[in-house]
Amino acid sequence: MEQLQLLHFSHSKHPLVYLQHFRGRATCCGCQEPVYGPSYFCPNSKCSSWHCHHKSCAEVPLGLHHPLHPLHPLILFDEKIGYLEKENSTCQVCNESRNEYTYRCYHCDFNLHIKCAILQLEVEFHDHPLTPIGKTITFTCDICGKEGKGVPNLCTTCCFWIHRSCAFFPHRLKVVHHKHPLHITHSSLEFHESDSRFCLVCVQKVDTRYGLYYCSKCDFASHLNCAIDWRNREDINLLELKDEENEDVELDQSVELAATGSSM
Domain residue ranges in the chain:
5-58, 63-117, 131-168, 172-228
Region 126-148: mean pLDDT is 86
Tell whether the torsion through CA atoms of 146, 149, 151 and 155 is positive or negative: positive
Confidence of residue 190 (pLDDT cuts 50, 70, 90): low
54-58 mean pLDDT: 88
- The alpha helices in the chain, defined as continuous H runs, are 55-58, 114-117, 224-228, 238-263
Question: What's the predicted TM-score (pTM) here?
Answer: 0.65
Helices (H) and strands (E) in the chain, counts: 4, 19
- Is the pLDDT assigned to residue 135 strictly greater than 60? yes
Looking at per-residue pLDDT, the higher value among 198 and 165 belongs to 198
CA-CA distances (angstroms) from residue 143 to 3, 168, 185, 233? 33, 11, 9, 19
| pLDDT at position 251 over 50 | no
The yes-or-no verdict on residue 126 having pLDDT over 70 is yes
Instruction: Please state, in angstroms and as integers, the Cα–Cα distance from residue 43 to each residue in 5, 31, 53, 237, following that order.
Output: 11, 20, 12, 19
CATH code, residues 172-228: 3.30.60
Selected residue with higher pLDDT from 195 and 112 = 112
pLDDT tens for residues 153-164? 899 888 889 988
Identify the pLDDT of residue 1: 46
- Give 66's strand partners: 69
Best CA proximity match to 51, nearest among 4, 104, 89, 7: 7
**Cβ burial 47-64 (10 Å sphere, 16+ → b, else e):** eeebbbbbbbbbebeeee
| Distances 226 to 145, 149, 175, 222 between C-alpha atoms, Å | 15, 24, 9, 6
